[in-house]
Amino acid sequence: MEIKRPKISVIMPAYNSEKYIERSVKSVLSQTWPELELIAVDDGSTDRTSAILHRLAAADSRLRFIRTDNHGPAEARNAALKMIAEDTDYVTFIDADDELMPDALEYALEPAASGADLILFGFSIIEADGKERDYQEFDCLVRSQDMRTAFPRLYKANLLNQVWGKLYSARILREKGIRFKDYLWGEDRLFVFDYLECCSLIAVRSECKYRYIMHAGESLISKFYPKKFSVCIEADIRAQELCHRYGVADDADLRYMFAKSVFSCITTLFSPSCTLSDEGRMIYIREIRSNPRVQQRCRDTSGGVPVNTLCYILRHSRPRTILNTFRAVALVGDQAPDLFMKLKHRK
């Protein structure tokens, strides 16, 4: 009797991606694991994205794509989740300007026989100058009772922040109806947290098989998003709920991740995308500084002296001092990106 080989549905949202999408699509369709489909959602692009997808789909029937009005990546992914084939065993995600290593899916599937509900694998950030920064953890199988120590470790290692770099059980996604919230930032983390609640067994693979590619002129400082702080609060509440579920004794790593996300909210004030006036920025900082969760959680983190110093300034300083401090942080991001990345991703 022939054993059924697991089938993977790969989901790719795309918006004005004509420069990169062909390379990204080919990195999926040329995988050493052939049992796959690629579902691409053109999220209302105004460039040649749809034309490129149409041409590539004509050459390979494993590529299916639809075009929708522009609603953002969350809704694009949700639309694709409705389209996954009935015989799909696992679902994974890729952004339209990133790449999978040629054997990524075959490598990730190796623990599938163990019955893993979620398979994580490492990723590399490829900077515009070609420098690579790897994020990975050692190979292991994590059962529910192991999450007491594994959850904080994996979260701090930046393996739970993104929706990509993972295989999800299609059965669980169908049965639990897990979907993305309609945010422009942070929806990945909330999706992963929702999914974690349904997992009995997680497999971690150490090698970096996903390539997150930064492009020339792309800033390390995120775009300003007015709802970002409220999403940070929501994500930290969910993280605390998971800590309670798993019996995590010390959530210093979780406080560290929350503090970093709050810092990111403030540094985005110096992004070209932020149109707030000086007074608007002051109001924004006052809102953050006075928030009870910030006062309670942004302290005694596992991030070391730099992070805890910024936490102290955030909790105790005047808004103008906070603004100027994080202006300097944003400047480091522009002028010394290597140092900024080291501070941002401490382990």
Q: Which carries the bigger pLDDT value, residue 2 or residue 175?
A: 175
Residue 340 has pLDDT above 80, yes or no: no
* CATH class (in words) of the domain with range 8-213: alpha beta
How far apart are alpha carbons 100 and 91 in whole angstroms? 14
Give the pLDDT band of residue 337 (cuts 50, 70, 90).
low
The pLDDT value recorded for residue 2 is 55
- In this structure, what DSSP letter does residue 157 have? T
163 pLDDT above the threshold of 80: yes
pLDDT exceeds 80 at position 345: no
User: Which band of pLDDT confidence, cut at 50, 70 and 90, is reported for residue 128?
Assistant: confident
Residue 286: the pLDDT is 97
The answer to whether residue 3 scores a pLDDT higher than 70 is no
Q: What is the pLDDT of residues 61-84, one digit of tens each?
A: 999 999 999 999 999 999 999 999
Query: Above 80 in pLDDT, residue 325?
Result: yes
263 burial (CB, 10 Å; 0-12 / 13-18 / 19+) is buried
Q: Which H or E run contains 68? A: strand 63-68
- Under 8 Å between Cβ of 140 and 74: no
Other C-beta atoms closer than 10 Å to the C-beta of 230 total: 15
Residue 339: per-residue pLDDT: 56
Return the pLDDT at 341. 59
CA distance 44 to 281: 32
Indicate if the pLDDT at residue 199 is higher than 70.
yes
Tokens of 36: 């796959």
Rounded Cα distance, 316 and 214, in Å: 35
**Long-range interactions of 307-313: CB distance < 8 A, separation 24+:** 307/256, 307/259, 307/260, 307/343, 307/346, 310/259, 310/263, 311/259
State the pLDDT at residue 336: 61
Largest Cα–Cα distance in the chain? 71
Report which secondary-structure segment, H or E, holds 27: helix 21-29
Domain limits, CATH 3.90.550.10, in the chain: 8-213
**Does the pLDDT value for residue 216 go beyond 80?**
no
pLDDT higher at 122 or 337: 122
Instruction: Determine the pLDDT at residue 335.
Output: 64
Residue 277 burial (CB < 10 Å; 0-12/13-18/19+)? exposed
Does 1 score more than 70 pLDDT? no
Q: Does residue 94 register a pLDDT over 90? A: yes
Across 4-10, average pLDDT = 93
Give the per-residue pLDDT at 220: 57
**Rounded Cα–Cα distance for residues 68 and 77 (Å):** 11
What's the pLDDT score for residue 215?
83
Would you give the DSSP letter of residue 41?
A: E
C-alpha 231/C-alpha 261 separation (Å) is 9
The per-residue pLDDT for range 247-298, each reduced to its tens digit, is 998 999 999 999 999 999 999 999 989 999 999 999 999 999 999 999 999 9
pLDDT above 90: percentage of residues in the chain = 86
**Interatomic CA distance for residues 297 and 259, integer angstroms:** 8
When pLDDT is averaged across residues 222-230 and rounded to a whole number, the result is 91
pLDDT digits (tens, 9 = 90+) for 17-43: 999 999 999 999 999 999 999 999 999
Confidence at residue 342, expressed as pLDDT on a 0 to 100 scale: 59
pLDDT cut 70: percent of the chain above it: 94
Asked whether the predicted pLDDT for residue 231 surpasses 60, the reply is yes
Q: How far apart are CA 57 and CA 69, in angstroms?
A: 20
The one-letter code for the residue type at 209 is K
Q: What is the pLDDT of residue 346?
A: 53
With a cut of 90, say whether residue 153 has pLDDT above it: yes
Summary mean pLDDT of the chain? 93
Residues 6+ apart with CB under 8 A from 179: 78, 81, 191
CA–CA dist 176, 194 (Å, integer): 10
Using the Cα atoms of residue 327, residue 264, residue 319 and residue 224 in order, give the sign of their dihedral: positive
Q: Quick one: which of 272, 260, 195, 192 has its CA closest to 228?
A: 260
Task: Give the per-residue pLDDT at 222.
Answer: 78
Three-state SS across 80-126?
HHCCCCCCCCEEEECCCCCEECCCHHHHHHHHHHHCCCEEEEEEEEE
